[in-house]
Structure 1
Amino acid sequence: MTTSGNLCLPADLWPKHYDLTIRTDLDKLEFAGFVNIQLDVKKATNSITFNTAGLTLADLTLATSAFSQPQVISADSLHLDVVNGRATIPLPFTLETGSIAQLKIGFKAPLTDVLKGYYRSAWENNGRTEYYALTQFEPTDARYAFPCWDEPIYKATFSITLVSRGDTVNLSNMPTLSENIYSDSTSSETALWLAKHFTDVTSPEDKWKITVFETTPPMSTYIVAFANGSFAYIEDSYTSPLSQTIRPLRIYGTPDLIGQARFSLDVTKKVLPLYEQLFGIEYPLPKLDTLIASDFAAGAMENWGLITGRAVFYLLNPNSNDVGVKRRIARGQSHEIAHMWFGNITTMAWWDYLYLNEGFASLVGEVFMMERAFPEFQADAGFITRELSGALNLDAKLSSHPVEVNIPSANMIGQLFDQLSYYKAASVLRMLSHFIGEDKFLKGVSEYLKKHLYGSTTTEDLWNGIGSVTGMDITSMMDAWVKKKGFPVVTVTEDADGIQVRQDRFLASGLGVGEDNKTIWTIPLNVVTTTPNGDKVVDSTALLNTRDTFIPLDTSKPFKLNAGTIGFFRVLYTPERLLTITREVAKGKASIFSLEDRMGLINDSLAFAKAGLAPISGLLDLIHACRNETEYLVWLSISQVFSDIVSAWWENPNAVALLNNFRRDLFMPLVKKLGYNYEDNEDLQTRELRTLAITQAAEAGQPEVVNELRQYFRASLSTGDISTITDELRPITFRIAAKFGGQAEWDKMADIALKSTSPSDAGAAIIGVTSFADDLMIEKTFSLIEEDCRDQDILRFFQGMGDNLKHRRLLSVRFREHYDMFMKRVEGTFSLQYTVVMSHESLTTFQDVRETEEFFKDKDTSSYKMTLDQVLETIRNKATWIQRSTEGLLAWFETRQSIL
Structure 2
Amino acid sequence: MALTDRDTLPDVLKPTHYDVSLFDLELGGSWAYKGTVKIEATVAKPTKEIVLNTNDISVGEVEVKAADGLIKLALIRSSYSARASGVSFDKKSERSTLSFDKDITNGQVLLKIDFVATMNDAMVGFYRSKYTSAVTPPSDTPIEGGFHYMLSTQFQACDARRAFPCFDEPNLKATFDFEIEIPTGLVAMSNMPVKSERESSKPGLKVVSFDRTPVMSTYLLAWAVGDFEYVEAHTQRKYNGINIPVRVYTTRGLKEQARYALECASRTVDYFSELFGIDYPLPKSDLMAVHEFAAGAMENWGLVMYRTTSVLFDEGSSDSSYKNYIAYVIAHELAHQWFGNLVTMDWWNELWLNEGFATWVGWLAVDHFYPEWNVWSQFVAESLQEAFRLDSLRASHPIEVPVRNALEVDQIFDDISYRKGSSIIRMLSSHLGQETFIRGVSNYLKAHAYGNAKTDDLWSALSEASKQDVHAFMNPWVRIIGFPVLTITEEPRQISVRQSRFLASGDVKPEEDETVWWIPLNINNTAPRALTTKFEVVRDVDDASYKLNKDQCGFYRTNYPPHHLEKLGQSLHLFSNEDKIGLIGDAAALAVSGEGTTASLLGLLEGFTGESSYRVWSQIAFSLAHLRSVFSSNEVIATGLREFTLKLVTPSAEKIGWTFSPDENYLTGQLRRLLISVAGNAGHKGTITDAKRIFQLWASGDPNAIHANLRSVVFALNISEGGRDEFDKVKDAYRKTESADGKEICLTSLGRTKDPVLVNEYLDLIFSDEVAVQDMHSGAVSLTGSPKVRHLLWEYMKNNWKRVSARLSSNNVVFERFVRLSLARLADEGLASEIRAFFADKDTGAYDRALVIVSDSIHTDARYKTRDEASLLEWLQVHGYA
TM band (smaller chain): over 0.9
For 2:420 and 2:484, locate their aligned partners in 1 and report how far apart those are by CA, in whole Å. 13
Q: Which residue of 1 aligns with 2:15?
A: 15
Q: Deviations over 1:649-676 (max 9, x none)?
A: 2222222221111112222212221110
For 2:541 and 2:115, locate their aligned partners in 1 and report how far apart those are by CA, in whole Å. 74
1:171 aligns with 2:167: no
Q: Which residue of 1 aligns with 2:58?
A: 56
For 1:172 and 1:477, locate their aligned partners in 2 and report how far apart those are by CA, in whole Å. 41
Q: Deviations over 1:533-590 (max 9, x none)?
A: xxxx2532x11111111110234331011111000001111112222222222xx3xx
Q: Deviations over 1:166-186 (max 9, x none)?
A: 000000000001112224xxx
Q: Deviations over 1:465-494 (max 9, x none)?
A: 111111111111100000001001111111
Q: Deviations over 1:506-546 (max 9, x none)?
A: 11112632211011101111011xxxxxxxx2532x11111
1:161 aligns with 2:179: yes
Tell me which amino acid in the other structure corresponds to 1:333: I
1:877 aligns with 2:864: no
How high is the TM-score relative to the length of structure 2? 0.95
**Alpha-carbon distance change, 692 to 65 in structure 1, aligned in 2, over 3 angstroms:** closer
Shift of 1:633: 1.3
| Contact 1:3 1:408 (8 Å CA) reproduced | no
Q: Which residue of 1 aligns with 2:309?
A: 312
Shift of 1:642: 0.9
| Contact 1:239 1:245 (8 Å CA) reproduced | no
1:245 aligns with 2:232: no
Shift of 1:330: 0.4
For 1:274 and 1:43, locate their aligned partners in 2 and report how far apart those are by CA, in whole Å. 46
Tell me which amino acid in the other structure corresponds to 1:20: V
Q: Matched residue of 2:683: which SS?
A: coil
Q: Which residue of 1 aligns with 2:42?
A: 40
Tell me which amino acid in the other structure corresponds to 2:334: I
Q: Which residue of 2 aligns with 1:484?
A: 480
1:74 aligns with 2:77: yes
Shift of 1:736: 1.5
Among candidates 882, 887, 890, match of residue 870 of structure 2? 887
For 1:333 and 1:496, locate their aligned partners in 2 and report how far apart those are by CA, in whole Å. 51
1:380 aligns with 2:376: yes
What do you get for the CA RMSD once the two structures are aligned?
A: 1.8
Q: Deviations over 1:217-245 (max 9, x none)?
A: 00101111001111111111113266553
Among candidates 669, 672, 691, match of residue 690 of structure 1? 672
Q: Which residue of 1 aligns with 2:81?
A: none
| Contact 2:316 2:708 (8 Å CA) reproduced | no
Shift of 1:850: 0.9
For 2:507 and 2:427, locate their aligned partners in 1 and report how far apart those are by CA, in whole Å. 23
Tell me which amino acid in the other structure corresponds to 2:786: N
Tell me which amino acid in the other structure corresponds to 2:850: T
| Contact 1:52 1:143 (8 Å CA) reproduced | yes
For 1:716 and 1:672, locate their aligned partners in 2 and report how far apart those are by CA, in whole Å. 23
For 2:415 and 2:101, locate their aligned partners in 1 and report how far apart those are by CA, in whole Å. 48
For 1:755 and 1:4, locate their aligned partners in 2 and report how far apart those are by CA, in whole Å. 55
Q: Which residue of 2 aligns with 1:26?
A: 27
Q: Which residue of 1 aligns with 2:686?
A: 704
| Contact 2:12 2:45 (8 Å CA) reproduced | yes
Q: Which residue of 1 aligns with 2:208?
A: 211
Q: Matched residue of 2:100: which SS?
A: strand
| Contact 2:181 2:200 (8 Å CA) reproduced | no
Q: Which residue of 2 aligns with 1:844?
A: 827
For 1:659 and 1:394, locate their aligned partners in 2 and report how far apart those are by CA, in whole Å. 25
Among candidates 783, 802, 822, match of residue 784 of structure 2? 802
Task: Give the 5 Å matches for 1:615-694.
Answer: 615-694=597-676
Q: Matched residue of 2:400: which SS?
A: coil
How high is the TM-score relative to the length of structure 1? 0.93
Q: Matched residue of 1:72: which SS?
A: coil
Q: Matched residue of 1:507: which SS?
A: coil
Tell me which amino acid in the other structure corresponds to 1:566: C
Shift of 1:402: 0.3
For 1:213 and 1:556, locate their aligned partners in 2 and report how far apart those are by CA, in whole Å. 67
**Alpha-carbon distance change, 254 to 851 in structure 1, aligned in 2, over 3 angstroms:** same
Q: Deviations over 1:241-278 (max 9, x none)?
A: 66553111111111232221111111001211010110
Q: Which residue of 1 aligns with 2:698?
A: 716
| Contact 1:19 1:159 (8 Å CA) reproduced | yes
Tell me which amino acid in the other structure corresponds to 1:454: Y
Shift of 1:110: 2.5
Tell me which amino acid in the other structure corresponds to 1:512: V
Among candidates 843, 855, 860, match of residue 860 of structure 1? 843
Task: Give the 5 Å matches for 1:407-486.
Answer: 407-486=403-482
Among candidates 355, 360, 364, match of residue 368 of structure 1? 364
Q: Which runs of 5+ in 2 are unaligned?
A: 79-83, 137-145
| Contact 1:407 1:413 (8 Å CA) reproduced | yes
For 1:740 and 1:554, locate their aligned partners in 2 and report how far apart those are by CA, in whole Å. 52
For 1:176 and 1:458, locate their aligned partners in 2 and report how far apart those are by CA, in whole Å. 34
For 2:53 and 2:450, locate their aligned partners in 1 and report how far apart those are by CA, in whole Å. 22
Q: Matched residue of 2:393: which SS?
A: coil
Q: Matched residue of 2:767: which SS?
A: helix
Q: Deviations over 1:688-723 (max 9, x none)?
A: 11111111111111111111111122112111x544
For 1:65 and 1:710, locate their aligned partners in 2 and report how far apart those are by CA, in whole Å. 74
**Alpha-carbon distance change, 393 to 834 in structure 1, aligned in 2, over 3 angstroms:** same
Q: Which residue of 2 aligns with 1:257?
A: 254
Q: Which residue of 1 aligns with 2:540?
A: 553
1:302 aligns with 2:299: yes
Tell me which amino acid in the other structure corresponds to 1:312: T
| Contact 1:62 1:101 (8 Å CA) reproduced | yes
For 2:341 and 2:474, locate their aligned partners in 1 and report how far apart those are by CA, in whole Å. 24
| Contact 2:233 2:262 (8 Å CA) reproduced | yes
Q: Which residue of 2 aligns with 1:89?
A: 98
In terms of mean alpha carbon deviation, does 605-614 or 731-740 score higher?
Answer: 731-740
Q: Which residue of 2 aligns with 1:752?
A: 733
Tell me which amino acid in the other structure corresponds to 1:85: E
- Which 4+ residue blocks in structure 1 deviate beyond 6 angstroms? none
1:767 aligns with 2:748: yes
**Alpha-carbon distance change, 305 to 854 in structure 1, aligned in 2, over 3 angstroms:** same
**Alpha-carbon distance change, 405 to 730 in structure 1, aligned in 2, over 3 angstroms:** same
Task: Give the 5 Å matches for 1:507-656.
Answer: 507-510=503-506, 512-528=508-524, 537-540=525-528, 542-585=529-572, 588=573, 591=574, 593-656=575-638
For 1:129 and 1:813, locate their aligned partners in 2 and report how far apart those are by CA, in whole Å. 32
Tell me which amino acid in the other structure corresponds to 1:91: F
Q: Which residue of 1 aligns with 2:127?
A: 119
Q: Matched residue of 2:173: which SS?
A: coil
Q: Which residue of 2 aligns with 1:192?
A: none
| Contact 1:241 1:277 (8 Å CA) reproduced | no
Shift of 1:875: 0.1
1:291 aligns with 2:285: no
**Alpha-carbon distance change, 405 to 225 in structure 1, aligned in 2, over 3 angstroms:** same
Among candidates 279, 284, 295, match of residue 282 of structure 1? 279
Shift of 1:44: 2.9
Q: Deviations over 1:35-59 (max 9, x none)?
A: 1000111233221000000111211
Shift of 1:411: 4.1
For 1:119 and 1:450, locate their aligned partners in 2 and report how far apart those are by CA, in whole Å. 35
| Contact 2:712 2:746 (8 Å CA) reproduced | yes
Shift of 1:322: 3.4
Shift of 1:786: 2.3
For 2:677 and 2:552, locate their aligned partners in 1 and report how far apart those are by CA, in whole Å. 27
| Contact 2:760 2:796 (8 Å CA) reproduced | no
Q: Which residue of 2 aligns with 1:196?
A: none
For 1:538 and 1:687, locate their aligned partners in 2 and report how far apart those are by CA, in whole Å. 37
